[in-house]
Structure 1
Amino acid sequence: MSAGDALFRPVRAGNAFEETVERLLQAVRLGVVGAGERLPAERELSERLGVSRVTLREALRALSDAGYVEARRGRYGGTFVREVLPRPASGAAGLPDLEDTLCLRYVLETGAAEMAAARTLSQAERQHLTGTLADSSEGDPADYRRRDSRLHLAIAEVTASGSLTTAVADVRMRVNRLLDEIPQLEANLEHSNRQHAAIVDAILAGDPAGARHAMAEHIDGTASLLRGFLR
């Protein structure tokens, strides 16, 4: 299997946008598509990655906004890798270890979602979740990370475990430091909001397995973006 075949293979449906961004970034970063070279045509890419043309275009637009590719019109147009690429932030001093942070986050937050769904929540706890969920999808996009963090902490809080809440808060600080190093992608924010709603719905329905699965899918999407941009 060639490097192109390995990278341009079908992505998982749950995080199609994020994984498409990750695959395309890997292809650019590893030189599978070199500086100044044209990416495969949209139809070919969407078929190889197993995503819709809409999802592919959102991913390409995100990479264009981040400075990795550019669209050219005309007979010989298409999407081309820029001659000069942004410098990855993974070597920046003081950043948390990526894989260690992602592993810890996965264990803590999937467990928190599962435990929250396993409890019989009070009316106040249910309102706390729905209120922070509503807040997380509203307001200034520049303030999104704070509101997103508040929702994830609310999920930990309704487990009624102070130790778990503290641990989630600590790992969230590490995650946010990594997220601050990558572009904030509008399509990802919209996808995250839908995933947040699925997580909270499963918790409120008392579905531990469903809550754990929904949280895992959400975290995997963020992990794909972080690995794509920082690794």
Structure 2
Amino acid sequence: MDSAAETLFRPVRAGNAFEETVERLLQSIRLGVVGAGERLPPERELADRLGVSRVTLREAIRVLADAGYVESRRGRYGGTFVNETLPTPLEGVGQAPDRSDLEDVLSLRHVLETGAAELAARRELTETEREHLAGTLADARTAGLTDYRRRDSRLHLAIAEITASALLTSAVADVRTRINQFLDEIPLLEPNLNHSNAQHEAVVAAILAGEGEAARQAMAEHLDGTASLLRAFLT
């Protein structure tokens, strides 16, 4: 299990165990940590990681299955698998975001993700970390319209992962989930996706070259473009 999955599948709070379990599982799916067609960790392992009973976990999985996010398969190679085609955003589980929160979320995202890009660039990355970052970049570059947001999310989360800060990775995952709720309310524009891919290339190139300030600036430019579209459509 990679570091993003370890971060998302951390123990939930006892008071809202069921609700937070649903949230964590859904977050892992929407951010592409567990991709389309992939299997969730085994039930016993997942329950242990989340710190919930298997009854609570099964109830959460049943809710996501009813909403069209996962399916359970029996047999030797069975388990719970993410569906190849996910529900339309905001269908099934979840609700429309409060647009009055947009500027607050954008500000938090800017601070977290520009900082993550700079910190990642200033670390001595292992070959595995470099390959992971390059791989998620390639996945985002080749994504189609239906899968772009998840692969884009996975790339941004990968940048946070290679900072080696679990707290930062968790914070980026949380703010990315909130940003995606806003993004789901605006159309995917192909020219913007092409531009975003070019900006992704610049961010990753700066990180791999160990250029912290360049990575921060490239990420800031990228985030500013997304913020402009969100403001244009939603305010």
- Return the TM-score normalized by structure 2: 0.58
1:158 aligned to 2:162? yes
1:111 aligned to 2:109? no
Per the TM alignment, residue 141 of structure 1 is displaced from its structure 2 partner at its CA by 1.4
Amino acid at match of 1:141: L
Q: Higher Cα Rg: structure 1 or 2?
A: 1
Separation in structure 1 between the aligned mates of residue 147 and residue 125 of structure 2, nearest angstrom: 29
1:126 aligned to 2:124? no
Number of aligned positions between the proteins:
140
Separation in structure 2 between the aligned mates of residue 105 and residue 131 of structure 1, nearest angstrom: 23
Amino acid at match of 2:157: L
Name which structure has the greater RCO, CA cutoff 8 Å, separation 6+: 1
Separation in structure 1 between the aligned mates of residue 96 and residue 188 of structure 2, nearest angstrom: 21
Q: Which of these residues, 202, 206, 227, is aligned with residue 202 of structure 1? A: 206
Per the TM alignment, residue 93 of structure 1 is displaced from its structure 2 partner at its CA by 5.1
Separation in structure 1 between the aligned mates of residue 98 and residue 130 of structure 2, nearest angstrom: 35
Amino acid at match of 1:95: D
List alignment gaps of at least 5 residues for structure 2.
1-94
8 Å Cα contact 1:110-1:216 kept in structure 2: yes
Q: Which of these residues, 86, 90, 98, is aligned with residue 95 of structure 1? A: 98
Amino acid at match of 2:232: G
- Return the TM-score normalized by structure 1: 0.59
Q: Which of these residues, 122, 125, 147, is aligned with residue 151 of structure 2? A: 147
Per the TM alignment, residue 95 of structure 1 is displaced from its structure 2 partner at its CA by 3.0
Match of 2:128, SS state, is: helix
Separation in structure 1 between the aligned mates of residue 141 and residue 104 of structure 2, nearest angstrom: 28
Separation in structure 2 between the aligned mates of residue 139 and residue 206 of structure 1, nearest angstrom: 27
List alignment gaps of at least 5 residues for structure 1.
1-91
Separation in structure 2 between the aligned mates of residue 153 and residue 123 of structure 1, nearest angstrom: 18
1:1-231 aligned at under 5 Å gives the runs: 94-95=97-98, 97-231=101-235
Separation in structure 1 between the aligned mates of residue 213 and residue 220 of structure 2, nearest angstrom: 10
8 Å Cα contact 1:95-1:177 kept in structure 2: no
8 Å Cα contact 1:203-1:211 kept in structure 2: yes
- Percent identity for Structure 1 against Structure 2: 68
